[in-house]
Structure 1
Amino acid sequence: MLWTFLRRSYSSSTRLSISQILNEKPLGSCEITGWVKSARKQKDLTFLNIGDGSSHNNIQVILPSSKVSAGLKHHSAVRITGDLIESSHSGQSVEIAAQAVEVINSCEEPYPIQPRKHFAQNFVRKFPSIKSKTNSTASLLRLRSQMTLMVNQYFIQNGYIHIHTPVLTSNDCEGGGEVFQISTKENAVINQSINNTNQSINNSNQPINKNNNPPDASDEKSSHYFDKPVFLTVSGQLHLEAVCNGIHKVYTFNPAFRAEKGRTRRHLSEFWMIEAEIAFIQDLSELLDIIENLTKHVARNLINNCKDDMITYSKSAKINDNREYIASMVDTKFSRISFYEAKMIISEHSDLPEVDDDLSRDHELFLCEYLQGPVFVYNWPKSSKPFYMRECMEDPELVSCADLLVPGVGELAGGSLREFDADKLRTRCRNEDLEWYIDMRNKGSAPTAGFGMGFERLIQWLLNVENIKDTIPFYRSSHECQL
């Protein structure tokens, strides 16, 4: 039995993927596993296209029609043994002459994804457990994987240390209040019991039975897992700043969570954030160079190394191929304008509502259109930005920060110099739980700067994805949490 287990483990770990077979072309006996992407049955022969998700390419399998079982259906899981031979057909260099086809698991009818049909992304999104078999989802997930690699590659090549910041935190970095608070299941049951009892009392004219008192709020307090409110993180920034007090270049690439009520094409409740913090930076332009270089590094590698998947995705999702735009963008310097200049441009060249101390998405998209590409808007009013941003030396009513705006999406990234004066921080921050953050300024910390970039928004922009929900394997938004 042990030998059987070892043999199976060795076989599965050394079996070539379809991508490897197509690249290496090891002619002769072979075995593949995958899913049926298409089938064309003739009188004597049947032609199958089999894919395993390792590549945008499938491999053609030829077998006698007499060996086709009833369970060999679209998207069924199969194991095929046979001989890899040179192909005489155009568009493929090799194919498999099958000797045996095992249907590991067939698809029950009715099956929602049928061959040779186009399905809109909002339809595919309804089937999270099978959508990775579609060309659009599979190609986008491979592109997402490569972009993840490119982000990490940029930071590692430039001397950053990768920090795993916590998902659970007592900090609300942005102070916006759109956070998920952590509660145990036991605590939730007590809350529900209290609510139900109070509702029953409110709906009744009967006096409360003193021998059968309702659950007390003290029960709820005693069941808290933590001694103070704890939330799912909205940002790893403050933790990065803590680590940056000793390691001068750090970054994190972690999930973040926001309890936004909006159900738009641009918002997710769970998303991934690229964040970096750098010590001893005093010039905002240096930080903007880092953001621009990271963005272009990812974009340039996409068009150089992921051409086939970009083509597959644009065709299967029926959207415009973005490669030409990216090629032009990476060779063009991003525009940089002050908030005041942005306000004047909008006032003088658009019919949009007047800008107050913040920009709407319409304002952001107009600036990208007017300046014909990505644009940094820097030096914003202090009233519109979080407490930790450093005041501008030339005007204390402004903070030394910048948002990167990109076409079709709007805000992609935001960064700033961090306030280094403990007294100024204490004046702007009224949260006692952040006293440790302020006190770092008295513990030998260096001046720092940092930024955060939404990974899904980066994907949406570079790949021209219509809905941000399609940029992540399992999307989460208000009232939507499949699987």
Structure 2
Amino acid sequence: MFRAAIKTLSVGSRCSLSPGLSEIRHYCRKTPIKVQVSEALSGVALGDVTIQGWVRSVRSQKENLFFHVNDGSSLQSLQIVAPSDLSNPLLTLGSAVEVRGVLKKSPLPKQPFEVEAEDIQIVGECNSVEFPFKIKKRHSPEYVRQFPHLRCRTNSFSSLLRIRSEATAAIHSYFKEHGFVQIHTPVITSNDCEGAGELFQVEATCPQDSEDHKFFSVPAYLTVSGQLHLEVMSGAFSRVYTFGPTFRAENSQSRRHLAEFYMVEAEISFTQSVEDLTKVMEDMFRSATEQVWAQCAEDVDVFYKHVTPGHRETVEAMLNRKFTIISYSDAIDILQRSSEDFVFPTDWGSDLQTEHEKYLVKHCGNLPIFVTDYPYDIKPFYARDNQDHPQHTAAAVDLLVPGVGELCGGSLREERLDLLTTRLEAAGLEETYSWYLDLRRFGSVPHGGFGMGFERYLQCILGIDNIKDVIPFPRFSQSCLL
């Protein structure tokens, strides 16, 4: 009860306390309460406190011992001041501690509050000599990546994880505020939404599993997308979304690909316009990024100052300028007129590759661009036919962003039963997707949707080059640590 009441105090508030809260504050001076480092740094509970966390630095003087404790709640660590008689040889960099003492204002201008320790307990020892990270050394992402079980202890990666958490909350907030219903789409599925065949098959290891007896009656896979399940839901809800893990069995160790990553996917019913999709993509990007900037300012600064200097200006331009929209045909024309020596072909009908996407973004002022109306034949069966002969394009759209290339991909869905049936028959998929045809038979409406790679979004707003550095535990070809 006391903790809850104390939390109601405004951070940094200088107004006088009500009698009830004054009594609580007085009580707290007598009985230590547990507070997070972020709360202590705000002075929310001046008085007797208990701090739990990990030691980030230790400095011993003749009469006093100074060390900093961090519990992951803030980029900043809390300084602990203790008399020298509380010194302990086990108090080292990386050790876990519980400190009981008095939280008071600090005499130093760079830190508003500090704790005068009265008791220090070593909860977990740490061999600082063998510990791979040194507090005063800035380690490269490649070095840190070698220790997936320990890299959350570094400043930059703990900042990344707080940003990731806030970005997750921001995306959920955006969809909730705009009337979307969240759907938990399955991880195990019998569908190959993308049609690329890059699937992880799921098989049971139980003894009765054999050729004659399979756990599932049909081949099952880890999902590559929740789109088709969202389309099921779009027959009953006008706006739905999902946010969860997806899997691709790509034999790649590149900076852009993971075997397991997170996707944000949305589906909107009663829409016949690609512009309806681009508006949601752009608004979501802007809303989420502004919230991350507002709530994680210090953590974001870690990247803009030390990891990707100058990237703040790039993101500011993305937030302040409306995204450009060009057609696929215009994009091909731009590529063909360029002096770049591209590895992949730029003929009309060829799919855009990463090198093409990055060039187009640069050509358009290093700002996000939407590319619409792709060739019909290179898009999946569900993409709506524009019926614009002789070009024959689909109502599909990709969002390309600086440093990453494709961030979002979407399309209007083919709601016309006859056209959809013809395409599935041509692909030999009519029986497999008979349930999908049922969606068109029973109350179908024009609809469309898109998916956004969450890790690529983080790469985009932070300027991080390698996708393995924006996910807690990266999974890729030949690597599944932990």
**346-355 or 380-389, larger mean C-alpha shift:** 346-355
> Any conservation in 2 of the 1:169–1:231 contact (CA below 8 Å)?
yes
1:30 aligns with 2:49: yes
Aligned to 2:5: none
Say which structure is richer in helix.
1
Say which SS state the counterpart of residue 433 (structure 1) adopts: coil
1:270 aligns with 2:289: no
Q: 1:223: Cα distance to partner? A: 4.0
String of CA shifts for 1:152-180, please: whole Å, max 9, x gaps: 11110000000001111000001100010
Aligned to 2:9: none
1:320 aligned to 309, 329, 353, which one? 309
Instruction: Report the TM-score when normalising by structure 1.
Output: 0.88
1:18 aligns with 2:37: yes
1:239 aligned to 202, 207, 229, which one? 229
Q: 1:123: Cα distance to partner? A: 1.5
1:226 aligns with 2:216: yes
Query: 1:242, 1:352 → 2: CA distance?
Result: 44
2:363 aligned to 366, 370, 374, which one? 370
Q: 1:327: Cα distance to partner? A: 2.0
Instruction: Write the mapping of 1:323-402 to structure 2, written as runs, cut at 5 A.
Output: 323-353=312-342, 354-356=345-347, 357-372=350-365, 373-395=367-389, 397-402=392-397
String of CA shifts for 1:233-256, please: whole Å, max 9, x gaps: 000000000011011100000110
Query: 1:268, 1:321 → 2: CA distance?
Result: 27
> Any conservation in 2 of the 1:389–1:418 contact (CA below 8 Å)?
yes
Aligned to 1:260: 250
String of CA shifts for 1:423-445, please: whole Å, max 9, x gaps: 22222222222110122111111
Query: 2:193, 2:414 → 1: CA distance?
Result: 14
Say which SS state the counterpart of residue 323 (structure 1) adopts: helix
Say which SS state the counterpart of residue 30 (structure 1) adopts: strand
Say which SS state the counterpart of residue 222 (structure 1) adopts: coil
1:67 aligned to 76, 86, 109, which one? 86
1:177 aligned to 197, 206, 214, which one? 197
> Any conservation in 1 of the 2:303–2:309 contact (CA below 8 Å)?
no
One-letter identity of the residue aligned with 2:172: N
The number of residues matched between the two structures is: 441
Instruction: Write the mapping of 1:109-148 to structure 2, written as runs, cut at 5 A.
Output: 109-148=129-168
Instruction: Report the TM-score when normalising by structure 2.
Output: 0.88
Q: Which structure has the higher relative contact order (CA within 8 Å, separation 6+)?
A: 1
1:149 aligns with 2:169: yes
String of CA shifts for 1:72-93, please: whole Å, max 9, x gaps: 1111100001111221112111
Aligned to 1:86: 105
Say which SS state the counterpart of residue 20 (structure 1) adopts: helix
1:103 aligns with 2:122: yes
> Any conservation in 2 of the 1:140–1:471 contact (CA below 8 Å)?
yes
> Any conservation in 1 of the 2:174–2:287 contact (CA below 8 Å)?
yes
Say which SS state the counterpart of residue 252 (structure 1) adopts: strand
Say which SS state the counterpart of residue 427 (structure 1) adopts: helix
> Any conservation in 2 of the 1:403–1:414 contact (CA below 8 Å)?
yes
**105-114 or 67-76, larger mean C-alpha shift:** 105-114
- Aligned-CA RMSD value: 1.8
Query: 1:70, 1:335 → 2: CA distance?
Result: 60
Query: 1:67, 1:146 → 2: CA distance?
Result: 38
String of CA shifts for 1:48-76, please: whole Å, max 9, x gaps: 01110001111100112332211111111
Q: 1:297: Cα distance to partner? A: 0.9
Aligned to 2:296: 306
Q: 1:351: Cα distance to partner? A: 2.0
Query: 1:122, 1:403 → 2: CA distance?
Result: 31
Say which SS state the counterpart of residue 370 (structure 2) adopts: strand
Aligned to 1:213: none
2:239 aligned to 239, 249, 273, which one? 249
Aligned to 2:471: 472
Query: 1:134, 1:319 → 2: CA distance?
Result: 17
Query: 1:75, 1:18 → 2: CA distance?
Result: 16
Say which SS state the counterpart of residue 240 (structure 1) adopts: helix
Query: 2:356, 2:225 → 1: CA distance?
Result: 25
Q: 1:315: Cα distance to partner? A: 4.4
One-letter identity of the residue aligned with 1:322: H
Say which SS state the counterpart of residue 95 (structure 1) adopts: strand
Q: 1:280: Cα distance to partner? A: 0.7
Q: 4+ residue runs of structure 1 moved beyond 6 angstroms?
A: none
Note the residue ranges of structure 1 that are not aligned, 5 or more in a row: 1-10, 191-218
Query: 1:422, 1:181 → 2: CA distance?
Result: 30
Query: 1:14, 1:448 → 2: CA distance?
Result: 53
String of CA shifts for 1:138-164, please: whole Å, max 9, x gaps: 000000001001101111000000000
Q: 1:21: Cα distance to partner? A: 1.5
Instruction: Write the mapping of 1:387-466 to structure 2, written as runs, cut at 5 A.
Output: 387-395=381-389, 397-429=392-424, 430-431=428-429, 432-466=431-465
Say which SS state the counterpart of residue 236 (structure 2) adopts: coil
